[in-house]
């Protein structure tokens, strides 16, 4: 069988439009395609491959667990899930964990829990959910409705009700929306898909205070920011604000599918047996790999190293911009960074992504105007330097076209 991009068109549903490049091997921050072409990976599978490709600790964990037990229904628990849950609760505000397969599923669980908590404690009227424009929380119908991008939720029929939105960092509008009928507020502590937009400290603290005033739960979607991405284990730990519920996925498994919802015991008790579930949630293979990823990332050396690498990226991108004048700013935190295109290049982020691939670099976009970088948290400094050199060639090819 000839496996190529044309086969995708034949056998796959066309909801994706992938590159012609088909990677077949990865090691660290380098990837090779079917033809043996090498790429430096600044994309990380969209902030997933927190330790790069085929990290020895993850490979070892997968092999060891793979020879023990693969799957159990949730009528039984398993050792990797319990160990991982204990480590997550020890390292965060949370007391208890619910495991799922993805960030969308973790967010779905968070939203359902918030609604059930409000119903049990306050009655049916307390159902409003407030979220933020340009937010992204997954692709289930509930999460895509809560996400603040109508292009993702329109066209599928009637949407779940009692969901309202306002602009991120707009505390005054938020004040006008929140009331005693609000059950939850869902927000990213740094917007990813919406353009790498950081929160104002006063905004985050104001949201927390207003949630407390109106007995609403604060849900932090840390699917993209969590597990070391910002230089803290979770981004909330650098904001001075603690959520009531937190979702985690992407980097949690280092590339193996897993999601988690973290919360307090008092809130968690409202998900009684039978109220929610997931066939593969807490899968032993996934939890064993995630435990190895968590143990590797949750060290001072790795978390401090993220901040060092952030500065290398910023310095390199600023140097490129001094020569070519294509960015208005570089924003974000840790290794969740966005180079924002200036007025002359607005709407052309995908052109920069395509030019990067042609020059041996994998990058991302965050909307039409932002080139996004979410590499491995342990990417070697030499790979950062070489990757930025390839990105400069991509920029030059567009500027000089």
Query: Among this protein's residues, is 112 annotated catalytic?
Result: no
Most distant CA pair in the chain, distance = 62
For the annotated binding site for pyridoxal 5'-phosphate, the residues are: 103-104, 136, 221-224, 279
Catalytic residue among 41, 221, 369, 383: 221
Query: Among this protein's residues, is 68 annotated catalytic?
Result: no
Catalytic residue among 174, 250, 256, 313: 250
Which residue pairs from 316-325 have beta carbons closer than 8 angstroms and sit at least 24 positions apart in sequence?
Answer: 316/384, 316/385, 316/388, 317/388, 320/388, 320/391, 320/392, 320/395, 323/392, 324/392, 324/395, 324/396, 324/399
Query: Among this protein's residues, is 391 annotated catalytic?
Result: no
Assigned token pair, 257: 């599918």
φ, ψ dihedrals at 67, nearest 5°: -95, 5
| Residues linked to residue 333 through DSSP beta bridges, in sequence order | 336
Q: How far apart are CA 226 and CA 262, in angstroms?
A: 12
Q: Which of 265, 291, 277, 247 is nearest to 136 (CA)?
A: 247
Say if CB 168 and CB 134 are below 8 A apart. yes
Among all chains, which residue has been given the structure tokens 């609403």? 216
* Torsion over CA: 13, 15, 18, 22 (sign): negative
For the annotated binding site, the residues are: 103-104, 136, 139, 221-224, 278-279
Kindly list the catalytic residues: 136, 221, 250
């Amino acid at each position: 069988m000839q496996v190529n991009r044309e086969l995708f068109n034949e056998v796959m549903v066309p909801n994706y439009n992938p590159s012609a490049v088909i990677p077949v091997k990865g090691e660290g921050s380098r990837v090779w395609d079917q033809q043996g072409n090498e790429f430096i990976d600044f994309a990380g599978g969209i902030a997933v491959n927190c330790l790069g490709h085929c990290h020895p600790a993850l490979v070892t964990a997968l092999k060891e667990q793979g020879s023990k037990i693969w799957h159990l229904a949730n009528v039984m628990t398993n050792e990797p899930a319990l160990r991982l849950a204990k480590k997550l609760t020890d390292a965060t505000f949370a007391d208890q964990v619910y495991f799922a397969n993805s960030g969308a599923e973790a967010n779905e669980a968070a939203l359902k829990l918030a609604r059930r908590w409000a119903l049990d404690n306050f009655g049916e009227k307390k159902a409003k959910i407030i979220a933020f424009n340009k937010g992204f929380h997954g692709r289930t119908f509930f999460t895509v409705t809560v996400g603040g991008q109508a292009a993702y939720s329109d066209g599928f029929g009637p949407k779940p009700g009692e969901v309202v939105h306002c602009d991120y960092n707009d505390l005054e509008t938020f004040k006008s929306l929140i009331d005693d009928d609000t059950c939850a507020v869902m927000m990213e502590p740094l917007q990813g898909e919406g353009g790498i937009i950081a929160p104002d400290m006063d905004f985050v603290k104001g949201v927390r205070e207003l949630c407390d005033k109106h007995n609403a739960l604060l849900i932090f979607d840390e699917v993209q920011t969590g597990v070391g991405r910002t230089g803290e284990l979770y981004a909330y730990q650098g904001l001075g604000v603690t959520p009531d519920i937190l979702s985690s996925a992407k980097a949690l498994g280092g590339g193996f599918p897993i999601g988690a919802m973290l919360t307090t015991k008092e809130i968690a008790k409202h998900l009684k047996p039978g109220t929610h579930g997931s066939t593969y949630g807490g899968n032993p293979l996934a939890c064993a790999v995630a435990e190895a990823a968590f143990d590797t990332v949750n060290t001072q050396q790795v978390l401090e190293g993220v901040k060092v690498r952030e500065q290398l990226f910023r310095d390199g991108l600023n140097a490129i911009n001094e020569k070519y004048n294509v960015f208005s700013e570089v924003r974000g935190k840790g290794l969740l960074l966005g180079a924002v295109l200036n007025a002359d290049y607005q709407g052309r982020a995908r052109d920069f992504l395509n030019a990067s691939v042609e020059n041996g670099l994998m990058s991302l976009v965050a909307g039409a105007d932002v080139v996004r970088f979410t590499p491995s948290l342990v990417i070697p400094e030499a790979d950062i330097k070489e990757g930025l050199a390839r990105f400069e060639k991509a920029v030059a090819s567009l500027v000089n076209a």
